[in-house]
Amino acid sequence: PRALCYSPNLPTIVTLAVESISVIQAKESTRAALMFLSQLFGWNSLRLSPQTSQVLQEAWNNSSILKEMLVQNGRALTQLCFTGLAGGSQMLWPAYSDCLFAIVQAVVVNHSQEHLNPADKSPAVLNESLVQQWLHSGMVGTLSSSHDATTTMNSETCN
């Protein structure tokens, strides 16, 4: 994980994974990207060796590399997960829900850890309010695109 977390290509890798979820219609590629992102952002809920946990803890807290990746891609990824859950392949629903859960859990755990460390005076960018915005926009975006699709289907059927 150290090579991945401190790679100068990590932003490109994460962006490519997020974009591949929306672009590629291959179920296995989408599942692989969702699992990668779920494990990358939800690492704190996995059973890992102490060395691996330490590397990921450093990348999350000290250098904030993983936090930055989540802040940059969280909104788009949340929207993709809602879209996949609302109209994607049923086979991918577990992967979409795991990814969505990993995002929410990462933010909530981060927010609670920041409150436990009052010595840290850095502004809390990744907080529950931000994830609530992502969840709300994801649901609203999914509902509006679903409504647009229904309206289009109705107008095509009637004409």
Asked whether 134 and 75 are in contact (CB, 8 A), the reply is: yes
pTM of the full predicted structure? 0.78
Residue 156 confidence (pLDDT): 44
For residue 6, give the DSSP letter. T
Phi, psi values for residue 106, rounded to 5°: -60, -45
Structure tokens at 18: 């997020």
Residue 118 confidence (pLDDT): 52
Residue 22 confidence (pLDDT): 80
Give the residue ranges of the chain where pLDDT is below 50: 121-123, 149-159
Residue 116 confidence (pLDDT): 54
Residue 144 confidence (pLDDT): 66
Structure tokens at 4: 């991945």
Q: How far apart are CA 154 and CA 124, in angstroms?
A: 46
What Cα–Cα distance (Å) separates residue 38 from each residue in 94, 145, 150? 11, 25, 31
Residue 122 confidence (pLDDT): 44
Residue 31 confidence (pLDDT): 93
